[in-house]
Amino acid sequence: MVYVSIGGVALLAALGLSPHAEGALGALDAWGNWPPGVLLLWFTALGLCGFAGWRALQSVFDADRQGTKPKALFARAGQAVSGLVYGALALSSLELLDAIEDLHETDDQARTREAVGQILDWPGGELVVIAVGLFVLGAGIGSMVRGVFEDFCKSLRCDPATARWAQPMARVGYFGRGLAFLPAGAFTTSAGLHARAGEAQGLGGALDMLKAQPLGHLTLGLVALGVVAFGAFAFVEAWLRPIRPERALES
């Protein structure tokens, strides 16, 4: 739901129907405009808590039995970071619900710059911000590479007919999400290099910057469709991916 919302708002911005693209909190904020949106916020916050917990099981307890080889440890480290990110987003979503009357005061870019500014005040904070930016860049490139080469249906319990549409959806989704991460990572890295919190951009700001480039509306529209596809494939995974806790318990 988070990625479908981000992509949907970005697509509206590309079509000129919304003034700005938004990051995760901004997209969730938009749900506050209509009563069913509050219910969706509750379901999404609880889902994000569950997803963060699942990432903890994958990374710390190796629920997928990836092992302890360097490649597996690297994958588990990435899952741990993912769990922390989505756990923080879950808490932010619950904060939105706790202060529903102030829902429309959410500002993703202000939060991003404030967080980067606080880190820059630490001893060696510039290096931390650069590392975060490089991590986001790496995550974006990794997502694009996965979109081109990975067999996403290998981990799903699906028939060939379902695989024919699920595989291309996943490819477009992972490539589009990775492409969206690149400017966000580049701006964060630049903020660390220049020690300027104002240069940092969240995902929403990065998508907005795409719109300002030549052919920006077309580029933003294509990236938005990719982000929506990534979110849609997450529903497919939730539906068709086997979860086998007994495999983790056997050893």
pTM above 0.85, yes or no: no
pLDDT tens digits for range 158-209 = 899 999 999 999 999 999 999 998 888 888 888 777 767 666 667 787 788 8
Which DSSP helix (H) or strand (E) runs through 84? helix 70-98
Q: What is the mean pLDDT of residues 130-151?
A: 90
Q: What is the pLDDT of residues 28-45, one digit of tens each?
A: 777 766 777 778 888 888
pLDDT of 107 > 80? The answer is no
Mean pLDDT of all residues belonging to the chain: 83
SS3 195: coil
CA distance linking residue 192 with residue 47, whole number of Å: 33
Q: Which helix (H) or strand (E) holds 178?
A: helix 160-194
Q: Residue 181's closest CA among 129, 144, 213?
A: 144
State which of 70-74, 181-185, 223-227 shows the largest mean pLDDT: 223-227
